[in-house]
Amino acid sequence: MRALNLQSTKLRSGKLRFGTGALLCGTLLCAGLLPGMAAAQITVLRHVTLIDGNGGAPRRNAALIVNGERIQAIADGDAPLLKEATSIDLTGKTIMPEIVNAHGHLGLLKGTKMSAANYTEDNIVRQLQQYQDYGVGAVLVMGTDRDTMYPWRAQSHAGTLPGALIYTAGRGFGVPEGVPPVSMGIDAVYRPATPEEARKDVQELAPHKPDVVKIWVDDFWGQYPKMKPEIYGAIIDEAHRHHLRVAAHIYHEEDAQKLVDLGVDILAHSVRDAEIPDSLVAEMKRKHVAYIGTMDLDEFMTAYEDDPAWLTDPFFRYALEPGVYEMITSPGYKQSIQNDKKTPAEVAALPIAFKNIKKVYDAGILVALGTDSGATPIRPFGFGEHRELQLLVKAGLTPLQAITLATKNSAELLRASGEFGVLRAGTKANFIVLDRDPSEDILNTESISSVWKNGKKVSDGPHPRSE
Ligand SMILES: [Zn+2]
């Protein structure tokens, strides 16, 4: 049968089970070998433009063959089908991998308020589902979690907690009376006063197997004491002894330099006060330091002084918590941005962030997508990730480069390559179906028709709130 022409699949044995034992597939189409046994769980999405996350040109008229939770093969859109397979014609549509947010925060925000009281399972599941509606399939929570997150993370990976997949830094490391401010609802972080205390805290954190360790190295423009190098040096060293990577909140080039010197693994925000010197870029590359831009947060900081183009767009409005639209469009809010002495520096930060992300990207450093969504009411879940894609293009990346950064690279940062982030035989069938092709215009990532997780459609995209 001609169906055997489909692209070969290398299914790792044990991944797919049909009745008894694992199935062995060689170069022939597995589906052709499964009459009556597994075809019922095969779905073929046909005649679609496919962006697989690897950065190559989109494949036109493709067929994505989904078997259970995983992709079985990618084939020609006109390949003959098994009788029992479910066929979905996606003529005119584009499929891309789910977006992965390598820097977010769960359970801090509700309405217009940040509070420790918002850290509930209900609120977190609601936020995970909002991410999912926007095509964000996984999130790394950067240091604002409590120990109750660990069982939720386990359930999330077992498939029993809905929405985006959870990765976590657990309880991060801040400064006594300093950053991150307790007033933001962030009251569970470690705040070691000495290097010895810092090591003990890492030893307490390590058995929970956080995906990374998060530290904050910032003084919020002189408002708070900044973490000293001897403290973060001890945290980094102790984390490495426990085979854990360290991600740092940073703002200033000087701090980035010291952190890289002391072995930090991930810079979790852009350097925004100066261009990163060539020597530091070279050191980052040599030491395999990854970089996350979170440029949307800098834009959101001052965007509502005027009315940004997206203000009335339903794609934005649906992402807002109740009360936030009224807040950001109020004269008082606009006035507070105008009156804030930090506003000129924040406006100046974005073009510097653009320059730096392009520079580290061009140097071949691993750059992942992160947004800091959920850390304040003005950084909405889902919208922030699409806005960050647009800002990556403004910074000089092509739409396909931006998409690869948000999918393959972010999955690599989470050490989840092979599970999601790219679409090929063997990976989870986690993807977004779009009405328009985002390789032509990055705004088209917003044209979400449906979102798929583990081989099943789980959302028709963003929708108005029911509350
Ligand atoms: Zn953050």
Give the pLDDT band of residue 7 (cuts 50, 70, 90): very low
Using the mean position of ligand 1's atoms as its centre, give its distance from the Cα of residue 147 in Å.
Answer: 18
CA of 452 to the centre of ligand 1 (A): 27
DSSP secondary structure letters along 221-259: TTTSPPPPHHHHHHHHHHHHHTT--EEEE---HHHHHHH
Residue 24 to residue 7: CA distance in whole angstroms: 16
Q: From the CA of 103, how far away is ligand 1's center (Å)?
A: 6
For residue range 354-409, what is the model confidence (pLDDT) as tens digits?
999 999 999 999 999 999 999 999 999 999 999 999 999 999 999 999 999 999 99
**Ligand 1 centroid, distance to 372 Cα (angstroms):** 5
Which two structure tokens, joined as six digits, stand for 287? 């030491």
pLDDT at 194 over 70: yes
CA–centroid distance, residue 119 to ligand 1 (Å): 16
Q: How far is CA 53 from the centre of its chain?
A: 14
Higher-confidence residue: 42 or 84? 42
CA distances from 396 to 346, 354, 361, 432 (A): 20, 8, 10, 24
Which range has the top average pLDDT, 20-29, 80-89, 205-214? 205-214
- Catalogue all structural domains in the chain, each as residue range(s) with its CATH number: 2-97+424-459 (2.30.40.10), 99-413 (3.20.20.140)
Q: Give the rounded distance of the alpha carbon of 127 from its chain centre.
A: 13
Could you report the per-residue pLDDT of 47-81, keeping only the tens digit for each?
999 999 999 999 999 999 999 999 999 999 998 88
The residue-averaged pLDDT of 293-322 equals 95
Does the structure show a pLDDT above 90 at 24?
no
| 298 contacts 87 by C-beta, under 8 angstroms | no
Sheet (strand 246-249) strand order: 213-216, 246-249, 266-267, 290-292, 367-368
User: Is a pLDDT exceeding 90 seen at residue 13?
Assistant: no
Cis-peptide, bond into residue 195, ω within 30° of zero: no
Instruction: Give the mean pLDDT of 204-221.
Output: 97
8 A C-beta contact, residue 445 and residue 389: yes
Q: Measure the CA–CA gap between 227 and 179, rounded to whole angstroms.
A: 8
C-alpha 222 to ligand 1 mean position (Å): 19
Centroid of ligand 1 to alpha carbon of 104 (angstroms): 6
